[in-house]
Amino acid sequence: MTQEFTFQRISTSQMQTEDLKKKYILQKILGYGRYGTVYKGVNQRTQETVAIKELRHSIDDQGINAQALREIEILKSIQCQQIVSFKDLAHGQNKIYIIMEYMEEDLLTALKRNTFSEQQAKMIMFQVLQGLAYLHNKGIIHRDIKPNNILNRNLEIKICDLGMAQNLKKLKPQTIRIQNHSYRAPEVFLGLLNDQYQVDVWSAGVLFIQLLFKDNLFEGSSDYASFQQILKYCGTPQEGNFVKDNIENWNGVTSLKNYSTFIKEDPQPRTLKAILEKKMSPSLINLVDSMLTLDPSQRITAQDALQHPYFCGMNIQRCLHTIQASRKKVKTEQNTKTDVFNYPNGNKIIVVSQIFQKSQNCF
Ligand SMILES: Nc1ncnc2c1ncn2[C@@H]1O[C@H](COP(=O)(O)OP(=O)(O)OP(=O)(O)O)[C@@H](O)[C@H]1O
């Protein structure tokens, strides 16, 4: 753990917040992650609905664990409409709680219900890329872009879970144990530790396809299986400077640490475009193809992807305006519901709240 992320440093102002239960009412569980549970809650004073991420408080000799501190530090330093905003920090016995803005659902939940039209996927990806370009510009790599970490409220999109994120301006990458293997960039499998900004662009490209096809083309039961899917669709990277549509060149690839672990078979051609043609327009295929370029130094950056002709005429304000306008059309009916929440310490809270039901055709 570095000195910057010690308990003392974060504790002076932040840890003096009131205890969680004095300030917030927990309503229900929104999701589980590797590091804790996320609850929906209400701020008792302002009545604002919030998301509360509970992190297990594994105290070591320096205080809260490094991962939690990193997430808090990064969240607090961010002000971007496409990244979930930090509101408060609270603590309970052996637990720390990050209070964040509340969103309706994550994209994994949305995908279980439906795929998206190309227009919807375009709006989603424009916002994801906007969030990534913001992070990368600040020197931060997210390193865990996947549908469960992209939150959705009627197509308004926010990236969450900065638990794996790293600020490259403070610390150089020290591990390749990042990203869910089905969204993992080829250079991470192969052991390249250089600037890792481009790993997020790869994951976003995988996500883009999934929004339209429902399935993740690179899904695998293991690291090895996922990498074989990459070879199947993106071809085997080869040394040399050539421009050929179905062959991927990547100078230096054969000397990467894990090359011989993952690449054992005869070279395979790149077939991605032919697959994408089934559901995507030519301009979108070109963009996705650029996001899924094997060599990270040739892969399009998040900032350049936003300038790609596919997004011609789009800007973030117009995109959000379109979303808000369509939201007004949503017919809502009010209802009430009762939630009973049991605090881990045995206290019980009963909450009667208003709910808004969306009409059938609203995404
Ligand atoms: N602000 C929010 N609003 C609504 N739901 C949220 C919010 N933040 C998180 N969630 C839900 O909780 C889930 C877990 O959150 P998060 O990814 O931050 O936890 P984690 O422990 O870091 O997970 P992971 O295993 O991916 O590292 C998300 O997939 C999402 O469904």
Q: Structural domain boundaries of the chain?
A: 3-102+330-357, 105-319
Q: Which CATH class is domain 105-319?
A: mainly alpha
Q: Give Cβ neighbours of residue 282 (< 8 Å, ≥ 6 apart).
A: none
3-102+330-357, CATH topology level: Phosphorylase Kinase; domain 1 (3.30.200)
pLDDT tens, residue order, the chain (363 aa): 333 333 334 443 344 445 677 788 888 999 887 777 999 999 988 999 999 998 876 555 455 677 788 889 899 999 999 999 999 988 776 778 899 999 999 999 999 988 899 999 999 999 999 999 999 999 999 999 999 999 999 899 999 999 888 888 777 666 667 788 999 999 999 998 777 899 999 999 999 999 999 999 999 999 999 999 999 999 999 998 766 778 889 999 999 999 999 999 888 999 999 999 988 999 999 999 999 999 999 999 999 999 999 999 888 887 788 777 777 665 444 455 666 666 666 666 666 666 655 433 333
ipTM, two decimals:
0.95
72-93 burial, b at 16+ Cβ within 10 Å, e below that, comes to bbbbeebebebbbebbbbbbee
Instruction: Based on the residue annotation, tell me whether 19 is a catalytic residue of this protein.
Output: no
- Amino acid of residue 309: P
Q: From the alpha carbon of 158, which atom of ligand 1 is closest?
A: 1
- Domains 3-102+330-357 and 105-319 fall in the same CATH topology: no
Provide the token pair at 293.
Answer: 């370029």
Predicted model pTM: 0.84
Pick the catalytic residue from 144, 161, 200, 289.
Answer: 144
Q: Is the CB of 103 under 6 A from ligand 1?
A: yes
Q: Is the CB of 99 under 6 A from ligand 1?
A: no
The whole-angstrom separation of Cα 29 and Cα 109 is 14
Residue 100 Cα to ligand 1 midpoint, Å, equals 11
